[in-house]
Amino acid sequence: MKFEWRKQEKNLYLPKQKPEVVTVPEQKFITIDGEGNPNSEDFSRRIEVLYSIAYAIRMMPRQGYTPEGYFEYTVYPLEGLWDLTEEGRKLDTLDKDQLLYTIMIRQPDFVTKEIVERAIESVRKKKPNPLIDEVSFESMEDGLSVQMLHIGSYDEEPQSFRKMKEYIEENQLEIATLKHREIYLSDARKVEPAKLKTVLRYKVKTK
């Protein structure tokens, strides 16, 4: 049976359109860092290199190599950790050129550093990309978090973040880091802005 994150991990990927508490376990990711406006060509190229590696891992059995513990699965959605430069934090309005980010794609538990390196070599031969050397493999654990589903354009996210901050305050919690996580359930190239679905998440701690 194929593992479908939309079905088996609904609590992490399909929250309601209102804030809720969730505990996120340790997860494995392929990641790449960047800075500046996410509408840029550079951002698109970074997404492209992540997906090429993610699909190289998923397709390994078809290329004649089956990793230990491998199972059929749907590739996880793109995620991003977002922050601002010191300069960007001083501004009253968001300047997208001042954004700092790590974008990533989660990997199933059977994936190891060796498997990622094997996928990188495969991509390097078939589809060379200078950004491939910037890709890392790492584990992250968000732990106690508050998240909600945002439907609409990315520029309207502040309204959802306000609701989340109110919920955090009302529940005697506080935001643990200035970075926040976004999980992109829609392909922005194919879905109109008003219908985009994005999971927004803050790591929190008790006061």
* Boundaries of every domain in the chain: 5-206
Per-residue pLDDT, 189:
85
Q: Please, which pLDDT band fits residue 92 given cuts at 50, 70 and 90?
A: confident
What pLDDT, on the 0 to 100 scale, is given for residue 132?
A: 96
Q: Which of helix, strand or coil describes residue 188? A: coil
For residue range 71-89, what is the model confidence (pLDDT) as tens digits? 999 999 999 999 999 999 9
Confidence of residue 122 (pLDDT cuts 50, 70, 90): very high
Burial class (CB in 10 A: 0-12, 13-18, 19+), 60: middle
**What percent of the chain has pLDDT above 90?**
91
Overall average pLDDT of the 157-170 stretch = 96
pTM for the structure as a whole: 0.95
Q: Buried (b) or exposed (e) across 163-186, using 16+ Cβ within 10 A? A: bbeebbeeeebebeeebbbbbbbe
What is the rounded average pLDDT for all residues in the chain?
95
Q: How many CB atoms lie within 10 A of CB 50?
A: 22
- Check residue 175 and give its pLDDT: 97
CATH classification (class only), 5-206: alpha beta
Which residues lie across from 137 on neighbouring strands?
30
* 41 pLDDT more than 90: yes
Buried residues in 87-120 as b, exposed as e (16+ CB within 10 A) = ebeeeeeeeeebbebbbbbbbbeebeeebbebbb
Of 156, 140, 154, 152, whose CA–CA distance to 182 is shortest?
A: 154
51: pLDDT confidence band, cut at 50, 70 and 90?
A: very high
Q: pLDDT confidence of 193, banded at 50, 70, 90?
A: very high
**pLDDT tens-digit series, residues 104-113:** 999 999 999 9
Are 159 and 187 spatial neighbours (Cβ–Cβ below 8 Å)?
A: no
For residue 98, give the amino acid letter.
Answer: Q
